[in-house]
């Protein structure tokens, strides 16, 4: 985990059917993993891998659909996806409207810049879900002193 903690990227990714593209051009604000139960359901795995970006740095082309639900924090979490193939595209929390949560797996082999700095919602992490050694873990959201 020695990569740039906030890399600048210029990438375009596509959903599985190719109907939607998502382009990112700018500095990534944070990179982390999340083991909350919502992320587990959304990914079908033990955690999500997330990069935060400013909405101004992200362009989505093509049709999208969304699903909004209340999160345990009381915020509303909205996830956008391709309405044809269901590929997750991004998410946004009402508690951080100035950031988009990008699923790093969307970028495939072009995601070598990703270096998570923490696991949030470790309280629902499963022992079978392997994590990088030494990754700081927080029971819920990150501690205020932890750098993004």
Tell me if 142 is assigned to some domain. no
Per-residue model confidence as pLDDT tens digits over 91-109: 999 999 999 999 999 999 9
Q: Are 80 and 93 in contact (CB under 8 A)?
A: no
Rounded CA separation 120/136 (Å): 9
Tell me if 137 is assigned to some domain. no
Q: What is this structure's pTM?
A: 0.88
Q: How far is CA 13 from each of CA 99, 102, 105, 109, 143, rounded to the nearest angstrom?
A: 18, 11, 10, 10, 32
Which residue from 15, 83, 22 is spatially nearest to 51, judged by alpha carbons? 22
Tell me if 143 is assigned to some domain. no
Tell me if 100 is assigned to some domain. yes
Tell me if 2 is assigned to some domain. no
Share of the chain above pLDDT 90, in %: 81
Per-residue model confidence as pLDDT tens digits over 6-22: 999 999 999 999 999 99
Tell me if 129 is assigned to some domain. no
Give me the domain span that covers residue 98: 8-124
How many structural domains compose the chain? Answer: 1
> For residue 14, what is the domain's CATH number?
2.170.150.70
Per-residue model confidence as pLDDT tens digits over 111-137: 999 999 999 999 999 999 999 999 999
Share of the chain above pLDDT 70, in %: 93
Tell me if 72 is assigned to some domain. yes
Tell me if 133 is assigned to some domain. no
């Amino acid at each position: 985990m020695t990569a740039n903690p906030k890399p600048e990227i210029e990438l375009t990714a596509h959903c599985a059917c190719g109907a939607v593209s998502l382009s990112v051009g700018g500095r990534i604000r944070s990179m982390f993993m999340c083991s909350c139960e919502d992320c587990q359901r959304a990914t079908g795995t033990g955690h999500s891998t997330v990069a935060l970006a400013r909405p101004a740095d992200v362009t989505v082309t093509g049709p999208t659909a969304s699903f909004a639900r209340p999160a345990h924090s009381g915020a509303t979490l909205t996830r956008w996806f391709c309405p044809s193939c269901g590929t997750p595209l991004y998410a946004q929390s009402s508690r951080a409207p100035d950031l988009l949560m990008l699923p790093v797996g969307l970028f495939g082999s072009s995601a070598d810049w990703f270096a998570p700095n923490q696991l949030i919602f470790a309280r629902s992490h499963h022992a079978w879900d392997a994590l990088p050694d030494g990754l700081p873990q927080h029971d819920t959201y990150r501690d205020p002193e932890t750098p993004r």
